[in-house]
Amino acid sequence: MHKIFVFIKREYRETVLKKSFIILTILTPILMISFTVVPALLLEMESSQPTVINVYDPSNTVAASLPRMLDDTLKTGQPRYIFNIISSAKAGNNLIPAQKDLVTREVIDGFLYVPPTVMDSNVVRYYTRNAGDFDVSIGLKKTVAAIITEKRLLSSGLQPEKIKKLTHTIDLQTIKINKSGKESESDFESEYFSIFVFVMILYMTLIMYGTGIMRSIVQEKSNKVVEVILASARPVQLMTGKILGQGLVGLTQYILWATVGIAIRFAGAQITAFDTNVLHFSTATMIWFVIYYVLGYFLFSALYAIVGVASTTDQEAQQASMPITLLLIVPILVLTMLVKNPDSPLIITLSYIPFFSPIIMFARISIGDVPFWDIAASIALLITTIIVLINITAKIFRVGILMTGKRATLPEILRWLRS
């Protein structure tokens, strides 16, 4: 026990104090912040000026109603749009080229031309430097279309108010009912987004810390330091120390990130008035997440340890670990299907198989309610597999750790198991 502790301590200290760990730990939240908060901040700054639009509408089809219908305001309280209506009386021959010139010289932001034939041609033109600003163009399109539709309805003798009432769109409220009959109104988009985020975190950290163990074993083998260690400890102690040590490193990183995440949720929301509350999760989800992360970590670190001990160089190990990565990719591939139909036979089967269950069962639990026995069975299977696998890994470790020179072949590894 004492020696395992010494290994854990060394593994933890050396990894956590490494530059790459510190950089990754700091950089990840910074990137997360920049990807979520910064674009929102920029967007806000960008649109703090009203958009000035000149309107030329000789037949006066929309000009009168436009300012009334597009009356959004900016955060500052100013109107979002300023419309200058050009009267037909002032219009000369060169009006359109002159207006276009104003747009190019940035005197105005846009020029809307409503031809007199609009009621038949169905075309209006909007000149702007910034055709990619969909907020403005979509707003204009919708409003102009609404005004013209209203005009047409009026001219055909119908009452717009009545039409509006008759053609009102229907709001679809989606309510989730779980098996015990409990109902909850849910925001599905953000819920699925959260599941996706958690699954990706599971996937990436399992690969990251698994390959971390693999690499550190390969390094100890190629440094030849391993023989000094085996002179004072058993291979199983070294392996256990490594897996637990790296596991603690992972947990440390999680705690740091979670702290930053919570801080952003509280502080960020106040600073930017931007909805950073995009991740919707319950305490139960968090608990399942940790349980499946820990179990998945033990399972995959044992697999990666086998690859590490059978390889002699990093490149070899990288290649040989491909099958393990594939095991982790399968749940990502079926994720869309899982979200659509969590009760499909394929998904349910996969959620029992230990190599997929850490991700798939977690996703199932966070989407719908999974019967308790399903969860218990998946965890029991997972733990059994972990115990068997760790024993196998320890056996392979005992022989493989001293082997140098060339990568072990599968038959060789099987022979080690029997020896």
Partner 1 sequence: MPLLKVEHVSKSFNDHIAVDDISFTLDAGVVYGILGPNGAGKSTTIRMIMNILVPDKGRINLFGASMNEDLKNRIGYLPEERGLYPKMKVADVLTFLGELHNLTPADARQRAMRWLERLDLAGHAHQKVDTLSKGMQQKVQIIGSLLHDPSLLILDEPFSGLDPVNTNLIKDIMLELKNEGRAIMLSTHMMETAEKLCDRILMINHGHLVLEGPLDKLQQRYGSQSLQVEYNGDAAFVRELPMIQKADIYANYMEIRLKDAAMRKEFLKIIADKLDIISFKSQKSSLNEIFIREAGETHA
Interacting residue ranges for partner 1, rule: CB under 8 A: 2-3, 6, 9-10, 14, 18, 220, 223-234, 402
Of 289 and 416, which has the nearer Cβ to partner 1? Answer: 416
> How, if at all, do strands 110-113 and 51-56 pair?
parallel
Give how far the C-alpha of residue 418 lies from the chain's centroid of Cα atoms, to the nearest Å. Answer: 45
Q: In the bound complex, what is the minimum distance in angstroms from residue 392's beta carbon to partner 1?
A: 19
Of 189 and 227, which has the nearer Cβ to partner 1? Answer: 227
Of 11 and 109, which has the nearer Cβ to partner 1? Answer: 11
Q: Which ranges constitute the DSSP H helices of 156-282?
A: 160-166, 188-223, 225-230, 235-263, 269-272
Reduce the DSSP state of residue 156 to 3 states and report it.
Answer: coil
Of 11 and 57, which has the nearer Cβ to partner 1? Answer: 11
- Compute the CA torsion angle 380, 382, 387, 392 (nearest 10 deg): 150
Of 219 and 325, which has the nearer Cβ to partner 1? Answer: 219
Q: In the bound complex, what is the minimum distance in angstroms from residue 2's beta carbon to partner 1?
A: 7
The Cα 411–Cα 224 span in angstroms is 25
Of 280 and 398, which has the nearer Cβ to partner 1? Answer: 398
Q: In the bound complex, what is the minimum distance in angstroms from residue 262's beta carbon to partner 1?
A: 33
Q: What is the H or E stretch that residue 141 is in?
A: helix 134-155
Q: Amino acid identity of 180?
A: S
DSSP conformational letter for 48: T
Pick from 325, 322, 332, 374: which is nearest to 353 by CA?
374
Q: In the bound complex, what is the minimum distance in angstroms from residue 3's beta carbon to partner 1?
A: 6
Q: In the bound complex, what is the minimum distance in angstroms from residue 418's beta carbon to partner 1?
A: 14
Pick from 82, 96, 16, 29: which is nearest to 52 by CA?
82
Q: In the bound complex, what is the minimum distance in angstroms from residue 364's beta carbon to partner 1?
A: 42
